[in-house]
Amino acid sequence: MIIAGVDGGLRVITQTAHQEQCGRIAAAWGNHAFARPEPWEPVVRAAGMHDEGWRPWEDEAGVDAAGRPRGFTDMPEDVHCAIHARSAAAARDAGVRVGLLVGMHVSGLPMRRLGLDGPMPVPGDRGAAVEDLVRSQAAHARQLRSAIGEGVEVASWAWAAYRVLQAVDLLSLYLTWRGLASAEAWTLPRVPRCQGDERGRELVIRPAGARACSVSPWPFASARVSAPVDYRIIEDRPYRDAAALAAALVAAPTVRQDMELVAT
What is the residue type of 125? Answer: D
Residues 6+ apart with CB under 8 A from 85: 53, 106, 133, 136, 137
Q: Would you say 199 and 159 are in contact if contact means Cβ atoms under 8 Å apart?
A: no
Lowest model confidence (mean pLDDT) among 166-175, 178-187, 203-212: 178-187
Parent domain of 48: 2-263
Mean pLDDT over residues 163-190, rounded? 93
| pLDDT number for residue 186 | 95
φ and ψ at residue 214, rounded to 5 degrees: -100, 155
* pLDDT class of 190 with cuts at 50, 70, 90: very high
DSSP 36: P
One-character DSSP codes across the chain? -EEEEETTEEEEE-HHHHHHHHHHHHHTB--SSSPPPSS-HHHHHHHHHTTTTHHHHHTT--B-TTSPBP-TTSS-HHHHHHHHHHHHHHHHHH-HHHHHHHHHHHHHGGGTGGGTTSSPPPTTSS-HHHHHHHHHHHHHHHHHHHHH--SHHHHHHHHHHHHHHHHHHHHHHHHHSSTTTTT--EEEEEE-SSTT-SS-EEEEEEE-STTEEEEES--BSSSEEE--EEEEEE-SS--SSHHHHHHHHHHSPPEEE--EEEE-
> What single DSSP character describes residue 71?
-
Q: What one-character DSSP code corresponds to residue 220?
A: B
Q: What is the pLDDT of residue 30?
A: 96
Question: Are the C-beta atoms of 60 and 246 separated by less than 8 Å?
Answer: yes
Q: What is the pLDDT of residue 50?
A: 95
Contact 108, 100 (CB under 8 A): no
Mean pLDDT of the chain: 91
Strand partners, 262: 214, 224
**In the predicted model, is pLDDT for residue 225 greater than 90?**
yes
Note the pLDDT of residue 72: 79
pLDDT by residue (tens digit) across 33-69?
Answer: 999 999 999 999 999 999 999 988 877 778 888 888 8
pLDDT for 175: 95
Three-state DSSP at 225 gives: strand
Q: Is residue 164 exposed (0-12), middle (13-18) or buried (19+ Cβ within 10 Å)?
A: buried
Q: What is the mean pLDDT of residues 208-232?
A: 95
C-alpha–C-alpha distance, residues 206 and 226, integer Å? 16
Work out the pLDDT band at 5, boundaries 50, 70, 90.
Answer: confident
Total domains in the fold of the chain? 1
Q: Which of 69-78, 179-188, 199-208 has the lowest mean pLDDT?
A: 69-78
For residue 90, the model assigns a pLDDT of 96
What's the pLDDT tens digit per position in 71-125?
Answer: 877 778 888 899 999 999 999 999 999 999 999 999 998 888 888 988 888 777 7
Amino acid identity, residue 248?
A
